[in-house]
Amino acid sequence: MRFSLPKIRHRFLVLLGLTALLWSSLLSGRAIAQAITMTPEARPSVYQERQIHDPDGIGKFYMGREIAQVMGHQGAGWLERPSRDRDEQPDQVIAALNLNPTDVVADIGAGTGYFTFRISPQVPQGKVFAVDVQPEMLEFLRYVQKQKQASNVELILGDETDPHLPPASVDVALMVDAYHEFAYPREMMQGIVRSLKPGGHVVLVEYRGENPFILIKRLHKMTQRQVKKEMQAVGLVWQETKEFLPQQHILMFQKPA
């Protein structure tokens, strides 16, 4: 039987196409299998490291944002500065949380306890978890706790990836000028979300990154858009943003019930 040249060319192209399709399927299957068996350490990181970066940052980027350097325990005096009451209005911030007397509150990055010991009288039948990653800060907190006889405050030493909070135990997790310094924000927020009761809230107080006239270092400010993006990544739902403070946002999120 004789075949014309066009027919031979057509059959060759069909065969070539089927071969390419078969290889594509095999490679896709192999890629899927590798992704399933890949260890967490080998999976692509949500973080990027850069050699050239802002001197106030750690050279590590998350969702387009460079993570700021941590203010160490040596900066405790800044947390207790006399002007802080006027600038940050802690009583109004706490009032905005709408706490019930039985609520359990986690003060993440508690520092010297500036908010911890203002919150504890508001939850007399509840509890405040004061979480910090610096043992020196916990020593300071322990001293103040004894002075104030705050029996409903529990101190917790967290680490960079885990706040070490009991699961499904927290009504409100509060972070004041702290989140932007988390070295592992995705893992820390996943730990915080696990600690929330269904319907529990996360509240972040951050200097407004949208305003260049707020005289705070750039990496120590955050925009609403960036905060919302990062909280959405761990399953939190934005509820509202309060703007009554002179320089800071109060961003409120909820864990779905």
Pair (88, 192) in one structural domain: yes
Give the tokens for residue 60.
């590590």
Q: Are 206 and 222 in contact (CB under 8 A)?
A: yes
Pair (125, 168) in one structural domain: yes
Answer whether residue 226 is part of any domain: yes
105, amino acid identity: V
Q: Which tens digits make up the pLDDT trace of 154-176?
A: 999 999 999 999 999 999 999 99
Answer whether residue 162 is part of any domain: yes
Answer whether residue 68 is part of any domain: no
Pair (89, 140) in one structural domain: yes
Pair (110, 232) in one structural domain: yes
Answer whether residue 111 is part of any domain: yes
Answer whether residue 117 is part of any domain: yes
Q: Can you give the pLDDT at residue 86? A: 79
Pair (10, 87) in one structural domain: no
Range of the domain at 38: 5-44
SS (H, E, C) the chain: CCCCHHHHHHHHHHHHHHHHHHHHHHHHHHHHHHHHHCCHHHCCCCEEECCCCCCCEEEEEECCEEEECCCCHHHHHHHCCCCHHHHHCHHHHHHHCCCCCCCEEEEECCCCCCCHHHHHHHCCCCEEEEEECCHHHHHHHHHHHHHHCCCCEEEEECECCECCCCCCCEEEEEEECCHHHCCCHHHHHHHHHHHEEEEEEEEEEEEECCCCCCCCCHHHEECHHHHHHHHHCCCCEEEEEECCCCCEEEEEEECCC
Q: Which tens digits make up the pLDDT trace of 115-160?
A: 999 999 999 999 999 999 999 999 999 999 999 999 999 999 999 9
Give the residue with greater pLDDT, 86 vs 234: 234
How far is C-alpha 141 from the geometric centre of its chain's CA atoms? 23
Answer whether residue 163 is part of any domain: yes
Pair (118, 193) in one structural domain: yes
The pLDDT confidence band at residue 41, using thresholds 50, 70 and 90, is low
Pair (20, 87) in one structural domain: no
Q: Can you give the pLDDT at residue 80? A: 59
Q: How far apart are the C-alpha atoms of 173 and 103, rounded to whole Å?
A: 11
Pair (154, 31) in one structural domain: no
81-93 average pLDDT score: 83
Pair (30, 78) in one structural domain: no
Q: How far apart are the C-alpha atoms of 82 and 21, rounded to whole Å?
A: 70
Answer whether residue 94 is part of any domain: yes
Q: Which tens digits make up the pLDDT trace of 235-247?
A: 999 999 999 999 9
Answer whether residue 35 is part of any domain: yes
Pair (171, 129) in one structural domain: yes
Pair (100, 142) in one structural domain: yes
Q: Can you give the pLDDT at residue 78? A: 52
Position of tokens 């890629």? 31
Number of domains in the chain: 2
Output the average pLDDT for the chain: 86
- Read off the CATH number of the domain in which 83 is found: 3.40.50.150
5-33 average pLDDT score: 47
Q: Are 105 and 127 in contact (CB under 8 A)?
A: yes
Pair (200, 88) in one structural domain: yes
Q: Can you give the pLDDT at residue 77? A: 57
Q: Rounded to two decimals, what is the model's pTM? A: 0.80
